[in-house]
């Protein structure tokens, strides 16, 4: 029987920008803890560093609680450094492997880090029941729509007419979502934000967006969303953040 402890691998949390030579990353990390209160360690190459913890891969449970803890560690480090969050469960065998990975991908990491430097990600979800909004639109902005035919005729024509009314309502809902997206985009443009926005992500989510904006513009964003909420009380705006830039990193590891 083998009583040896399983080998400890390196769980990488994030790659961060560490430009200042006087900055003591090790000291900052010593005040924090990784998953299961494990220590956080840095490995640096040039202006970038990886933050990792020693963890036995066989003991690593890929469940929701651990994923939240993993995100929590990244969130804590992000308060001090510009970083690129690593995918949940990113393991490497040794610290030499991490050093090699940093060296091989230095330029790509640096380029992405500079893109997100001093910025945070924010998430916006605009909730609304599409059926209720359609009813609201019908009641508040009635549009004279000509019926299919003055003489409805057969049951098939009545059927098409019903489908046509539903189609027109759906088109109006999409136009409404477009209007909301346009309003949001206008505010974001003023903030020179980078954004990714999807409309009608589901029956209940009219708009689902993520934005990358400068850290000092957080209040401006909150105010803008507040103004939109006042303008459109029939839907519900929920803004979250600040988050590490989960949606704005494009690195292909070599």
Do residues 221 and 209 touch, judged by C-beta distance below 8 A? Answer: no
Contact flag: residue 60 with another protein (CB under 8 A) = no
Q: For residue 162, what is the DSSP state?
A: H
Q: Which two tokens stand for residue 127?
A: 């909730």
Nearer to another protein, 8 or 205 (CB): 205
| Among residues 163, 189, 215, 254, the one that binds another protein under rule CB under 8 A | 163
Q: Considering the complex, what minimum distance in angstroms separates the CB of residue 123 from another protein?
A: 9
Question: Would you say 22 or 154 has its CB closer to another protein?
Answer: 154
Measured CA to CA, the distance from residue 213 to residue 215 in angstroms comes to: 6
Joined tokens for residue 46? 């040039």
Q: Closer to another protein at the Cβ: 39 or 166?
A: 166
Closer residue to another protein (CB): 2 or 142: 142
Identified binder of another protein from the candidate list 57, 198, 214, 246, rule CB under 8 A: 198
User: Considering the complex, what minimum distance in angstroms separates the CB of residue 120 from another protein?
Assistant: 11
Residue 239 · residue 216 · CB < 8 Å: no
Name the residue nearer to another protein (CB basis): 57 or 80.
Answer: 80
Which residues have C-beta within 8 Å of that of residue 149, sequence separation ≥ 6? 157, 161
Q: SS in 3 state form for 8-25?
A: CEEEEEEEEECCCCCCCH
Look at residues 23, 36, 37, 43 and name the one whose alpha carbon lies nearest to residue 86: 43
The CA distance from 70 to 87, in Å, is 10
Contact residue for another protein among 45, 52, 211, 237 (CB under 8 A): 237
Among 117, 136, 185, 241, binds another protein (CB under 8 A): 241
Q: Which is nearer to another protein, 4 or 154 (CB)?
A: 154
The nearer residue to another protein, 243 or 248, going by C-beta atoms, is: 243
- Whole-angstrom Cα distance, residue 178 to residue 231? 15
- Tokens of residue 192, six digits: 């020179």
Give me the least distance between CB of 140 and another protein, in Å please. Answer: 20
Given a contact cutoff of 8 angstroms between Cβ atoms, the answer to whether 243 and 251 are in contact is: no
Contact present, 69 and 40 (Cβ < 8 Å): no
Is residue 200 a contact residue for another protein (CB under 8 A)?
yes
Question: How many residues contact another protein, by CB under 8 A?
Answer: 36
Among 24, 114, 159, 216, binds another protein (CB under 8 A): 159
What residue ranges bind another protein (CB under 8 A)? 122, 127, 148-149, 153-157, 159-160, 163-164, 167-168, 198, 200-205, 208, 218, 221-222, 225-226, 229, 236-241, 243
């Amino acid at each position: 029987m083998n009583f040896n402890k399983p080998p400890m691998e390196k769980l990488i949390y994030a790659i961060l920008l560490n430009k200042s030579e006087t900055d003591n990353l090790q000291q900052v990390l010593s005040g924090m803890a990784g998953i299961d209160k494990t220590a956080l360690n840095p490995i640096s190459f040039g202006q970038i560093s990886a933050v990792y913890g020693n963890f036995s891969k066989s003991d690593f449970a890929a469940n929701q609680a651990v994923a939240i803890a993993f995100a929590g560690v990244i969130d804590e480090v992000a308060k001090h450094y510009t970083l690129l969050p690593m995918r949940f469960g990113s393991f490497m065998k040794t610290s030499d492997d991490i050093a090699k990975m940093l060296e091989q991908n230095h330029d790509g990491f640096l380029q992405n880090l500079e893109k997100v430097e001093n910025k945070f990600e924010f998430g916006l979800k605009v909730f609304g029941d599409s059926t209720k909004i359609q009813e609201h639109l019908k009641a508040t902005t009635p549009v004279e729509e000509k019926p299919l035919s003055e003489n409805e005729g057969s049951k098939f024509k009545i059927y098409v007419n019903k489908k046509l009314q539903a189609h027109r309502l759906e088109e109006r809902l999409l136009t409404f979502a477009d209007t909301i997206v346009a309003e949001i985009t206008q505010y974001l443009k003023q903030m020179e934000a980078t954004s990714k926005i999807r409309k009608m992500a589901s029956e209940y989510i009219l708009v689902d967006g993520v934005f990358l904006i400068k850290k000092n513009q957080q209040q401006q964003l909150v105010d803008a969303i507040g103004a939109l909420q006042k303008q459109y009380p029939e839907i519900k705006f929920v803004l979250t953040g600040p988050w590490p830039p989960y949606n704005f990193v494009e690195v292909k590891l070599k």
